[in-house]
Structure 1
Amino acid sequence: MAPVSSITGLAVAFLLLVPGLAVAAPLASGLFRADPYGQFELVAEGEHVSGVQTQSGGTCSQVGKGPVLEGTFQDRVLVGWLKVCQTGNGCAPEQAYPILAFYNEQDQTLVAHVRLRSGCESPVLKDKRFILQAIPPERGALGGAGATLAAELAGKRGSPKFEQARAEREKGERLYLNKQYKEAAEAFRRSVESEPSWPAYLGLGSSQFKQGQMPAALKSLERALQLQPKNPDVLYMLGCVHAQMGNKKRALGLLRQTVDLGYALHTVIEGDPDLLSQLGGDREFQELVKRSSERAASSRTTSGPGTPNP
Structure 2
Amino acid sequence: MRSDGEHLLGTAPAGGPCQRPVAEQILTGDFQGNVFLGEITLCQTGDTCTPSRSFPVMLVYNVEERALGGVVKLEDDCESPALPKNRMLVLRATDQGAALTPPVAAPAPEQRQAQAAPPPPPSGGAAQVAAQRRLEPVDVAATLKLGQSLLAQSPIAASQQFQLVLAQEKEKNNAWALTGMGVAHYLRKQHPEALRFLEQARSVGSGAARAEAFFWTACVKRTAQESRLAQEALRRALAEGWSPPEGNVLVERELQQFSNEGALYEAQLKQARGRKRVQGRESQGAGSASP
TM over 0.5: no
Higher RCO by CA contacts (8 Å cutoff, separation 6 or greater): 1
TM-score tier after normalising by the smaller chain length: 0.3 to 0.5
Q: Greater helix share, 1 or 2?
A: 1
TM-score, scaled to structure 2:
0.39
